[in-house]
Every structure is written in structure tokens, then in C-alpha cells.
Structure 1
Amino acid sequence: MKIVAHRGASGERPEHTIGAYELAVERGADGLECDIRLTRDGHLVCFHDRTMERVTVEKLGRGQGIVSTMTLAEMRELNIGTPEEPARVITLAELLELYQDTRSQNIGEGLREMFIETKHPNRYGAQVEHRLHEELQKARLDRDPHINLISFSPQSLVRYKLINPEIHRILLRREYQRMIHPGMEAMGVANAHGLSIAKARLRPDIIGRRGLSTYVWTADKEDEVRWSARLGVTWLATNYPGRARMWRDDEEATRVGNAPRSKVTSQVRAPERSRWLTG
């Protein structure tokens, strides 16, 4: 089972900041996950919400800070870090640069993976998918088997498949939705499926159904991580990749009777100040 850093090591650093992703690498995450949204001036930024108000140090009024109505420069005027360590919104291009520089660091075998989630892409037609493809092409990652596109939108996955069928696609399903069904699978909408840890524990039979790899989010508790490892989850998203990796390794070692592969500690220590953080 691979441990995926959900918005970086977002339980220890502000989400979607370079500092969070650098810490995820330091903690030995097997994968990095981000959400992408399109700004008014056409940049793909790593950002989850429709508006900025939840994550900014500055107080914003209701309806302010709507990502789709802001330019990248306007977004970067706001602090999404802390008062002590300010941080700015990053672009997908910047995250891909960090990913390429660190994809073999603090990882046992192989290369780190990247998971890119398109957020509410339908209002833009295919703009999000085309811009994503452009960024992956610039980074020479458009045919890389370690890049994964994830989305709650089957339409987004289909659109990107038409642009570039080489990239692995994972369809995420909400609590009330059916899992990926044979029709979608036959059309090649997705190569894998994803579900929440809550739904996975209610319906463990879904994990690995029809031979599909399974992505589960977001597991931060020891029993959730150990349970997922036992059930054969392929990728597990967590806000605490260091401790999740430790629990995963211990669980796998217990099952095979070997010593744990890693000695990652769950104790939080302050990393060196990132060169990406801005004041």
C-alpha cells in the first residue's frame, strides 16, 4: 500500500503550500496529491475550495476571494500560511518542478507518484484538462506512468482521455454514489476507483472489485491505516504521511514476520525553512 500526502503533509503544515509538500517528501510519502483550479487569467493553481476565505490569514467577507474571478497575482497577495511563516498560492507548474526534483528522495523503491485532482471542471468546458495537458507536456510528464489524474467528474476523465490516453485515471465516488460500474469500466473512463475511508469500512467488498486498483481518502488514525493495509488498498491518502508510513510499515512487517522497513517517527519536528515560503 502506498501512502499519499493529501494536499502535502497538510496535518502539519498549511495545505497546498510548498512547505507542506517539502515536508511530505521529508516524511517519505509515496505520492503527492493536489487539487487544481483555474484562475481568471488561465493559471492552474493548487487549491481545494471555490473561495480562499477558509485558508487565508486575512479575513475575507462572504463571496470574496473566489478563485475563478481572481488572477494569480491577486491570489498571491493573500497569505495562506501562518502569521509567523507566510506562504503564497502555488501553481501546478511549481509543484511539478518540486515533484521532479524530489521524486526519488526518501522513498524505498521506485519513484514517487503524483495525484492531480480536477475541481469542478465542468463549468470551464475542457479548459482545465487542456491546461493540465499543457503543463504536463512542459514538464515532460505527459506520458509518465507515475502521474495520476483523479476526479469526481467522469466527464473530466473522459475529456482528458481524449486528449491524452496515456495518463492513469482514477474515478472518485461520493458516499451516496455507486462505485464505478461495468459500463464506465468498459468505456475506459477510469483505470481505478476511489472512495472515502468511511465508505471503505462500510463496504470493504468494494476494495479491489473487478481487479481495479483502489484509492482511499483521508485516513489519519492508526486503526484506519492498519485496516487499509490489511484489506489491500492500493493508495491511501492522509494528512500525516510520516506516521501513516510508520503504521503501514509496522502492519506489513507484522503480517510477514519481518522488521519494519522504516523508522519514521510521528513526532513533529520543524523542518528547515523552505526557500519557497515568502514573507
Structure 2
Amino acid sequence: MKFKLLLCVALALSACTSGTANEGKSAMAKDPIIIAHRGASGERPEHTIASYTLAIEQGADYIEPDLVLTKDGVLVARHENEISETTDVADRPEFADRKASKTIDGQKMTGWFTEDFTLAELKTLRAKERLPMLRKANMAYDGQFEIPTFEEIILLAKAKEKETGRRIGIYPETKHPSYFASIGLPHEAPLLTMLQKHGYTQKDDPLFIQSFEVGNLKALRGKTKLRLIQLMSKDDGPADDPATKYASMAKPDGLKAIAIYANGIGVEKAMVIPRTMLGNLSEPTSLVADAHMAGLDVHIWTFRRENYFLPLGQRSGLNPAGHGDLVAEIKAFLATGIDGFFSDNVAEAAVAAR
């Protein structure tokens, strides 16, 4: 089985046809989109204009901002609304009294939260590398970049479109939408207003909106023609519907239900190709074929070149921060017929996909 899978990858042919639901299907996706996960976050601190700029220069089709809100209702790009891991806020004495404990999506968190700062205050902070133990080189950029607004990211994409002559897409994620709605800062209105302002209104526009929650996407479906993506992980379930599990949503009946309000799914890569007990890639599941049968695109996350994140067979050496064969891992997933994928390392992603 393992030899057969590797042979398929090496030759970039159809997916392996050994007892999977993809049997008989030509699986290599045509022109899968490359989504720069928080920008070129493997080489610059994530969610910064520098990270997004580098990602575009390296060939990303889409750049991905995670969107949270400020106290004054402005959408900004941060991985989480708790920002001590990605900014220097903990070192700023003027904001010491903003430290707080909150329960978000059922988890208690302590730190500094975007909703307790105005945009002007957040703009005084500087970004830092979120994974310093794995990405020491990125720490050279700590303190150099601001937190960007969603509009600044849109303007960057528009400027780069003019400069390069190619379409640069944007792939925003609404982070913790039910939580933000509960404190009077819903995503939908500012998000759609900003997108409409800059001409993103139609299904064929270079724009996807993604969310791990369901209610948020259903609300958006009634208000926009833009493409929507239901995010899913191999464990857990939507924060706004804890009784439901993503595993059940990924079954054929669940996918049909998703297709009523979304255009695709964004899934953890282990849902497409699990790993063996030893940490190698196993046989593909039927998820890609099942989703395509339901009329859904399949985008998967997240590809990173550090050994820590790679399957055992694609690692190089024992250092978790060392760089392994990311291209080989991506090609294995492309052979399943996915329509796009997220990566922290756009240069390697472009080599694999093109």
C-alpha cells in the first residue's frame, strides 16, 4: 500500500485506487489554489503586511487574514483576539491594566484581547513571531510591523494586482463570530460593508469567507453571493453548536447539508489522509470524493515545512525546527483531487502545485 501511494505521488498521476471511495476517479486537481496561511507566515511574523506581501511575491493565489474586532468595531488581522502571543502587548506597561480572563468558545483564557482596545491603541503595538522555538529566524522581524486592518490587506491585494497583472484573492476567516456577536461586535455587517466598498459582491469574485461556526455562515448566505467555506477539524465541533461534531458533518449526509449554505469545506489535512501509528501518511479517505459528489470544493490546512509538522517519511533529521520535504507531502494530497490548500510556505507550495 505504501509503495503504491508513493508511486502515485512521484508520477503525479491519479490517486491510489486501493480500496478507497476515490476508486476509478482521476484525482489530480486542476490548478489547485494556493492559500497563503496568514501570509508567508513561515518566513515573516504572521498577519503582517510584510507577510502578506512576501506571500504574493512568492506566488500565492489567495492571502488569508483571520479577522477579529477592536473595541470600536474595526476588523483587524490576528490569529486570535487574545494577542499576547503575537504582539508585544505584555511588555507595554501602559496596557498592564487591560489584562483579563475570559471564557471564549467554552475555554478560559487570560491575556489581552482586541475587543478591549481601540484601533488607535492596537496600532501602537508591534507584531512578533508566534512560534519562536520553531522559527527563530523570524524573530529578527519582531517589533517591526503593525497589526493590519482588513481594509489595509484589501488595499495591498488591489495594489499587487495592478503591479503584477494577476488576480490576488483574499480568504478571510471570521474568528469566534458567536462570541463577538455576544459582546455586541458581530462580524457580518462590517465584513460585508468593507467587501462591498471594494467591489467584492459576486460568486466569481476572488474572495472566500470561512468559518468554523455554522450560524455565522448561514447568516452570511442570506446576505451575500460570495463563496462561503465551512471549516472543520478532525476533532471537536462548531462552537455555536457543541452537540454536533465535525466528524458527522464530514459524512455524505452532513456534506449535503453543508452544500445548502456553503460552497466548499476547509478541512484539517488528517481528514483527507490520516497518519499511521508511526506518523507516516496512510491511505486517503473518501472525503474529497464525497464532498465533490455534494458539489463542494475541498481546501485543506495547513502545510508547514518544519519537521515538527511533517509526516515521518518527509522529515529531515531529528531537529523539530529543521526543514523537511514539504513538496512531497503536498503532492501526496494533491493526488487526492483537492481544490486548494493552505500553507505557511508559499514558495514550496508553488513548486508542488505548479
The TM-score range, normalised by the shorter chain, is 0.7 to 0.9
Deviation at 1:223, TM superposition (A): 2.7
Aligned counterpart, 2:170: 114
CA-based RMSD of the aligned residues comes to 2.1
Q: Hey, what does 1:142 align to over in structure 2? A: 201
Shift of 1:97: 0.6
Give the letter aligned to residue 65 of structure 2: C
Q: 1: CA distance between counterparts of 2:124 and 2:286?
A: 47
Whole-Å Cα distance in 1 between the matches of residues 272 and 162 of structure 2? 30
Which piece of structure 1 moves more, 50-59 or 19-28?
50-59
Q: Render the CA deviation track for 1:60-107: whole Å, top value 9, x for unaligned.
A: 567342111111111111110456561111110110111112237668
Matches of 1:241 and 1:68, distance apart in 2: 31
Is 1:92 matched with 2:164? no
Q: Which moved more, 1:54-63 or 1:204-213?
A: 54-63
Preserved contact between residue 208 and residue 214 of structure 1 (Cα < 8 Å): no
Superposition pairs of residues 159-174 of structure 1, within 5 angstroms: 159-164=219-224, 166-174=225-233
Name the residue aligned to 1:257: none
Q: Does the CA contact (< 8 Å) of 2:89 and 2:112 recur in 1?
A: no
Q: How many angstroms apart in 1 are the aligned matches of 2:56 and 2:256?
A: 38
- For 2:33 and 2:337, the matched residues in 1 are separated by 10
Unaligned runs of 5+ in 2: 1-31, 92-98, 101-109, 129-138, 236-245, 275-283, 305-325
In the alignment, the residues of structure 1 paired with residue 79 and residue 177 of structure 2 have an alpha-carbon distance, to the nearest angstrom, of: 12
Verify the 8 A CA contact 2:170 2:207 in the aligned structure 1. yes
Contact kept in structure 2, 1:28 and 1:106, CA below 8 Å: no
Aligned pair count reads: 245
**Cα distance change, pair 182–23 in 1 and its aligned pair in 2 (3 A):** closer
In the aligned structure 2, how far is the partner of 1:218 from the partner of 1:106? 26
Q: Aligned-pair distance for 1:183?
A: 5.2
1:59 positional shift: 3.3
Secondary structure, in 3 states, of the residue corresponding to 2:272?
A: helix
Counterpart CA distance in 1 for 2:257 and 2:71 is: 32
Change beyond 3 A, Cα 1:124–1:228: same
1:56 pairs with 2:103? no
Note the C-alpha offset of 1:182.
Answer: 4.6
Q: Which residue is 1:35 aligned to?
A: 66
Question: Structure 1 residue 244 and structure 2 residue 349: aligned?
Answer: yes
TM-score by length of 1: 0.81
> Using the alignment, how far apart are the partners of 2:147 and 2:177 within structure 1?
19
| Matched-pair contact (CA < 8 Å) for 1:136–1:142 | yes
In 2, the alpha carbon distance for the partners of 1:93 and 1:246 equals 30
Q: Does 2:177 correspond to 1:72?
A: no
> What is the CA-CA distance between 1:111 and the residue it aligns to?
2.3
How far apart are the structure 1 equivalents of 2:79 and 2:330?
Answer: 24
Q: Whole-Å Cα distance in 2 between the matches of residues 105 and 170 of structure 1?
A: 29
1:207 partner letter = V
Report the Cα distance in structure 2 between the residues aligned to 1:45 and 1:111, rounded to whole angstroms: 23
Partner of 1:196: 268
Distance 1:218 1:182 in 2: 21
Q: Tell me the CA shift for residue 113 of structure 1.
A: 2.1
Question: Helix, strand or coil: the match of 2:90?
Answer: coil
Normalised to the residue count of structure 2, the TM-score between the two structures is: 0.65
Instruction: Mark the structure with the bigger radius of gyration.
Output: 2
Matched to 2:231, the amino acid is L
